[in-house]
Each structure stands twice: as C-alpha cells, then as structure tokens.
Homo-oligomer: A and B are copies of this chain.
C-alpha cells in the first residue's frame, strides 16, 4: 500500500469552507483562523497574529525543521503540509509524539529549554512560518487573551498526548491502531468538513508503528485484522471507515473534540 501525496490534501482543503468565488482563500494568518474558531478576535489581535506569519519557509518531505538537543528555539506555524514531532532513543528507535496540520503552532515546548526537547520534521512537502521567542513574548504581553488561547490549545494537545499515553500503556495493538485511525480522521475532518468516513492516510506503516509503539510488521497485521473485522476498508493508502461505532469500541476511543468550553477566557480587548 502506498500513501498518496498528502500535500494535495492540506493546503486548499483545510479551509475549504472559506473559499471565495472560484479562487482559493489564503488567510493572512492561519493561526488566527484556528483561534477564530474558538473566539471572536479583535482587529488588534488579528493584526498581531498576522505578524507571526510574515516569514515563511518551504520544506521538502523529510526535511528537519528543528533537531532534538540542538539550540534554536524558534516557533513555527504550519501553513500547509503535514509535520510531525518525535524523539529518538539511544538504540535508534523513534517515538512519534504528534502529527501537526495547517494552523498548528510548533515549538512551544522548546520555549523553556535552551535546546530542543524534540525533533520536528516534515512528513510531506510543507510550508511553515517562522518567528522567535521575543516575538511570541511581545504577542502575549500585548494580547493576554491570545496567551490564554495558546495555553488552551496547549491543553488540548496535552490531553491528546495523555490519551495516547493511556492507549500505549494500557491497550492492545489493535486498539492503538484503531484509535490512531479515528484520531487522524477526526483531525482531518476538523480541517475539512467534507471528509466523513474516507480519507488518505498519509502515513507509512512504520510511521504508524512509531506513533503507537508497535513495529511496522505488527501494524500491518493489525490493519489487516481491523479490515477483516469489517471496520474499515483500505485501498491504495485510502482508509474508509465502514463501522464507526465498532471501530470506536475496538479503539477504546474518546472523542474529546466535542465539549470544549472557552467561556472562561478573558474578554476581548
């Protein structure tokens, strides 16, 4: 099975609902688009966010944006493509921590360290915007509510990480794979509402394994098993969820993207 150009997927479709006329709508700030889904931003906030995305960098598939244990400490916002963060262990094995899509802010964990705690690499060709800690600092000093929003997004990510921690620590290989399949679908769908139960996986089985704490071989067997159970269908890197309820049950999956509550946020400035 070969994974298809995931690129084709992200740039336009992410904000597909915001297309204007026949041409692609390109937001001045992708990050503002994300935050704008949660709260209504003021003009001042919007323009401050725009300044984060003035400097862009294009990445080839496989390119490394930030390497673990190296200095740098830049921050990034993903404009297009898929990016992942991972750590490498002494024996060369890799643990993928997180997949990031357009609109994600990267490098926040590096804020507090002199050297990066994790590697950030492009999974597909990608475009990111680069800014530094000082810029970020000014942003949240001037716009406390944006600071609060970044904190809130960090918590969403934290919960996603602890869910995966629980999955890897306490569930079977099949459940972990099923959970990843569901999570990827949900996150892609958040970006593109036209995705319902079919999507391009965009990951090799080795990458799935490195994210779920399994070997590529065993991932292959688990995918087959999930397929034989009639929960999904696979064709050329495209996954179709046939029985969402069954898959959710098999995965022990909790969809957290439902009951968000940002009503506690400070008021607009």
Contact = CB atoms under 8 A, between A and B. Distances in A.
Interface of A: 1, 3, 73, 87, 89-91, 93-95, 97, 108-109, 111-115, 117-118, 133-134, 136-138, 140-141, 144-145, 147-148, 150-152, 154-159, 161-166, 168-171, 212-213, 252, 256, 259-262, 264-267
Contacts of A165: 95, 97, 161, 164-165, 168
Chain A interface, >50% SS class: helix
Contacts of A170: 89, 93-95, 213
Nearest to A136: B264
A95 B176 CA distance: 14
B140 A148 contact: yes
B169 A95 contact: yes
A151 B161 contact: no
23 contacts: A73-B264, A87-B163, A89-B166, A91-B252, A95-B170, A108-B155, A109-B155, A109-B159, A109-B162, A111-B151, A112-B261, A112-B262, A114-B259, A117-B159, A118-B162, A136-B264, A137-B148, A137-B265, A140-B147, A140-B148, A144-B144, A165-B168, A168-B213
B261 A113 contact: yes
Contact of A152 (B111, B118, B266): B111
